[in-house]
Structures are given as C-alpha cells and as structure tokens.
Chain A
Amino acid sequence: MTTSMTFPPGLILALGGIMLPFFHGAARSALILVTPLIVLVLVWQIPDGVSLTASYLGYDIALIKCDVLSRLFAIIFAIMAFAGGLFALNQKSSLELASAFIYAGSAVSVVFAGDLISLFIFWEIMAIGSTLVIWSAGGNGFSAGLRYAAIHFLGGVILMAGIAGEIATTGNTEFTSMTANSIPRYLILAGFLINAGAPPLAAWLPDAYPETSWSGMVFLSAFTTKTAVYVLIRGFPGTELLIYVGLYMVFYGIIYAILENDMRRILAYSIVNQVGFMVTGVGMGSEMALNGAAAHAFAHIIYKALLLMSAGSVLFMTRKRKCTDLGGLFRTMPVTCICGIIGALSISSFPFTSGFPAKSLISQGAADAHLMVVWMLLAAASAGVFLHAGIKYPWFVFFQKDSGLRPDDPPWNMKAAMILFSFMCIYIGIFPNSLYRLLPFQVDYEPYTVGHVVFQLQLLLYSGLAFFLMLGMLKRTLTISLDFDFFWRGIGRVLAQEFNFRLGNAWYGFTDRTINAVKRLVREIYRHHGPQGILARTWPTGSMAFWATVLLGVYLVFYYF
C-alpha cells in the first residue's frame, strides 16, 4: 500500500522503455529524449527522507528514501539515460532501447531503495534488463549474455542469502552502513562486489560488454558497476578489505588493457580499473575519500560513456573493433576523434577535465590518512591510466597507421551526444564546485594549486613519453588474454556437451510421444467422424423426436425444482 504521493522516477523511465516498441519515427525519438528529462526533473524534486513506502511479505519497505548521495547518483543516471538515448536514436533494435531504459530505471530505483528487500528486487531487474541489452545485439552476444546472466544471477543468489540472513539475525530491513562482521554481511558485500567487477569474477565485464551493439555498451558502462559503487559507499564505508580489492582492480584493468587488441575491450578493462579507484576510496572511508568515490563515479559515467560513444561511432561507421584493423581515422572523423581525445584526457585526470578534481579527492584521502603505499600505488595507477586508455585508445584507433579506412563522422545525433558529454567533461574540469556541491560531505579542498597541477602534468606527460618510447613493445597483436572466465567457460562447455547428449535423448523422446499422441487423436476422430463412424450415420426421424421429448422432460423437471 502506498502511503504518499511521490511517483517513483525509476518507474517512469522503465514505463518509457516498455512503451517504446509501440512508437515509431518522430514520436519514438521524442519519447526517448523526453522520458529521461522528466525523470531528471522529478529526481530534483524528491525531498530528503522517506517519501514512498509499501508493505511487502509483511515487511515495511521504503521505495523512495532520498539523501544527497541518492540524489547524486540518480541525477547522473538520468543524464546518462538522456545522452545514451540521444546517441542511440538510430538504433533499430527496439528491444535494446526498451531494455536499456528498464535497466536504467531499475538503477535509479536501486539508489532510492531505503531497505534491503526493495534494493534486491531492483538489483535483479537490473540484471535482467542488462542481459536483454546484451542479447539484443545478436551474434556472439547470445553466449556472452548467457555467461553474463549466469554470473549475475549467482551474485543475486549470494546477495539474497546475505539479505535473508541479515534480516533473520537483526530483524532489521533498513539499508544503512554495516560493519562486515558476520556471514550474512560478508555475503551481501560479496554480492555487491560481483557487480562492481571485483576479483576473481571480474571477467564477466570485458567478456560481455564488448559483444553488445555500438550503442548498447554506452548504457551498460554506466549503471551496473556504478550502482555497485553506490551500495558500497552506503553499506560498507571504511571496510579495509575494499582498499586491497580496489587496488587489485586498478592494476588488473591496466595490465589487461595493455595486452588487449579490441578497442572496446580496452575500454571495458578500463572500467574495472576506474571502479577500482572508487572501491579503494570506499575502503579508506574518510569523508574526503567517500566524496572522492562518489565524485569519481559521477565524472566516470560521463567520460566513459563519451569514450564508448566515440568507439561506438567508429564501430557504427566501419564495423571494425580491432586496433590491428583500425588507425588513421582522424582524417575523416574529426568530431569523433576530438571527442574521443577529450574523454581520454578526462579518464586520465588531465587538469581542466572532469577526472582531475574527482580523482584528486581519492588521492588526498590516502594522503590525509598517511597511507603512503596506497597513495604511491594510486599515483602509479594514474600514470598507467594515461598509458592504457589516455593514449593507447586514441592512438591506435585514430592515428597509429593509415588503415585505408575513410569513414565519415556518424549522424548528427551521435555527434550531438558526444559534444554534450565533451562539454560536461570540460565544464566540471574548469568549475569543480559544480560537482563538489552535489557531494555527500562538505568539500574543503582546492584541486588547482600550482604544485598539484605541475605534479599531475609531470606524471601524465612522462607517461606519454614512456608510451612512445616503448611503442614497439605495445604493438597490437591478434590475441586475447586468458582470464578467470577460462574456468567457467570450460565448465559451460563440458556441461553443454553433457546436456547435448541428455537433452538430445529427452528431445527425441518428447517429439516421438507428441507425434504418436497426434496420430492417435487423428485416428480417434476418424473412427467417430469418418465415413464409417457412428457420428457420421444418418439418423432416423423417430430417434430425433425421442431425444427432443427427453430434453423437454428434463427441462420441465428442472423448471419445477
């Protein structure tokens, strides 16, 4: 039972998605663009505190509970749905856009969920929506989507077990900050971390995301991992384990991206890398570090979507994904190239782009806490980000060699989406307070000191020097790199072979029985209705009169009683 009038913004986004397949042409475009804007307006208007409750299975659940942190994530999710929709206007697959909006809507609902039960429900709808986005690409997307779904439903089961245990032991359904000190809470943490792309299951991300369509990955990059960052910030701030998990993710992403040849897999590994920075920030748990994790998530959604839009434009125009097939595209795709470079500079935290004021908060958090090793590793990783994403991606796609390809820039709407996000990257970079004032804690930090800017420029430019000096070692090859998914792909294959045999027998048994049943049915009908059948005979008039009398008699009897 709802007790308040606040309309859930996530539901509006999902409803917009459900309506999409019934609209065409200009009406469809309008629906795609207007729905996220309505959501954005609604999100701004939701007051702090609980404003929508319901009762489910005897528990009171808070469907909308808002504070600064929820609002920050909901705002960027709505902006992302708008820009992603604008970019994807020419996407012919209605399934992809519809499921992307349902997926985005459930992500918005997750950040407003005030209790563990509704959190879990929206968490699972998100898994379904994102799987459909992957499946709608067809081709390799189907098996990649199956592996993706398997990992996420495993994560869902672990999360569900944790939530059930937590409610059983504490009797409390509210979703607040927890200390990881019991088995249920460890399970909840594990469920969250699987979605964040944490080891050892991180391979679901670079396995599945690059198999989506040119527009699908733009949506996927934004929601799953960032809702995971959100729930970690709210649920497990200051959990020391997260520092180590985050640092592992940071370096895992860099190393695998250096070895990678597929441009969108490079960017997929760099999602893990960037989320690693945020998870490290959550692990440190100070106000500075948590602000950093939240700010970095906000900035990351914009520049990562921008990078994937530029990669998506290249894929859309050339149908090619491998660095070995690409190169020299700056000649004919200037807008895509420049926007891609702006995204690449932002992810590298170049001064005057959005990554700089955001990531600096996390580093400052490490410095304030006197965590020297963490600070040194984060600085090394920042250099590594410039190496694997900041230079490597634009270099191999837009420069490198002349691949002979001469594609044009993509259609206007795709360019408009890229220009919008490029603008936001630079705006936040120049006016960091526009982002800082949305953060959960008061920011008492100035990113643009001479010393800090000089340090960052040295770090990045000398990484650039290292890149060009070692270009020979970084030359792309037609290879992939083994990851932990080797194990579950192996299990999948063995299971598939086993089931092929059993399912084959079962299938033949099933079809034989069905065919026999149909044959029997036809035989029976023929026996009764065929030329020799009892129902096909001509009836004497006398028997007609007899049966009419019986019917009238029965009617009379019923009439009197």
Chain B
Amino acid sequence: MNEPWLVKPENIKILWRVLIAILVLVVVPDFFIEHHPHFGIDGTFGFGAWYGFLSCVVLVLFAKLLGAFIKRPDDYYDD
C-alpha cells in the first residue's frame, strides 16, 4: 500500500518537531522587539502565545461543558 508521505507515523513525528521549532521561533523575537502595549498586559513576554493557548483551552472546556447539556443525537428533529 503506497501511503502518502503525510500520513506515515515516522513523518508525523517529524511534523511535530517542525511545529515545536516554529512555536519556539515565534516567541524568540519577544526578546528583541519592542511591543507597544495598549493596556499593559499585552506587553508581557509571549503574550500572543500564552493568551492564544489559554483562550483555546478555555473555549474548548466551556464548549465541552455546554455540550453536556445541549448535545442531542443528530436525528433529534427528524420525524
């Protein structure tokens, strides 16, 4: 079976390493560049990184919680 490069387990490991490298790279500039914070908190180190990550965790957890109450089988409205 000739599987595409993208789905082979060893390559997925490579992709994770590339992603981690990029994640480190985008935080590095915060050592050098001067942000112009509007409020203060947005001037903290790696603000975009930690705030983006945290926002997503909160959103997913909240969605899970809400889902426990409002999820229904997808034939719920069918007669």
Contact = CB atoms under 8 A, between A and B. Distances in A.
B38 A370 contact: yes
B59 A384 contact: yes
B4 A331 contact: yes
B71 A480 contact: yes
Interface residues of B, number: 45
A42 to B, nearest CB: 43
Contacts of B51: 376, 379-380, 383, 459
A451 interface: yes
Contact of B7 (A402, A450, A456): A402
A155 to B, nearest CB: 22
Contacts of A450: 29, 33
A500 to B, nearest CB: 12
Interface in B53-67: 53, 55-64, 66-67
Contacts of A461: 19, 22-23, 26, 49, 52
Which size class do A's interface residues fall under?
Answer: 35 or more
A200 to B, nearest CB: 14
Interface in B18-66: 19, 22-23, 26-27, 29-30, 33-36, 38-39, 41-42, 46-53, 55-64, 66
A381 B55 CA distance: 8
B59 A480 contact: no
B73 interface: yes
A460 B38 contact: no
Interface in A144-159: none
B14 interface: no
Nearest to A482: B70
B23 A465 contact: yes
Contacts of A379: 51-52, 55
Contacts of A370: 38-39
Contact of A463 (B22, B35, B38, B55): B55
B21 to A, nearest CB: 11
Contacts of A518: none
B23 A255 contact: no
A468 B12 CA distance: 12
B6 A383 contact: no
A465 B39 CA distance: 26
Given A454-B30, A457-B48, A480-B74, A255 B55 contact: no
A474 B60 CA distance: 8
Contacts of B71: 259, 477, 479-482
Q: Which residue among A367, A376, A463 has the maximum number of chain B CB atoms within 10 Å of its CB?
A: A463
B77 A466 contact: no
A399 B63 CA distance: 23
A131 B30 CA distance: 51
17 contacts: A259-B63, A259-B67, A261-B74, A330-B4, A331-B4, A375-B39, A387-B56, A451-B36, A454-B30, A455-B47, A461-B49, A463-B56, A470-B57, A474-B60, A479-B67, A479-B73, A482-B70
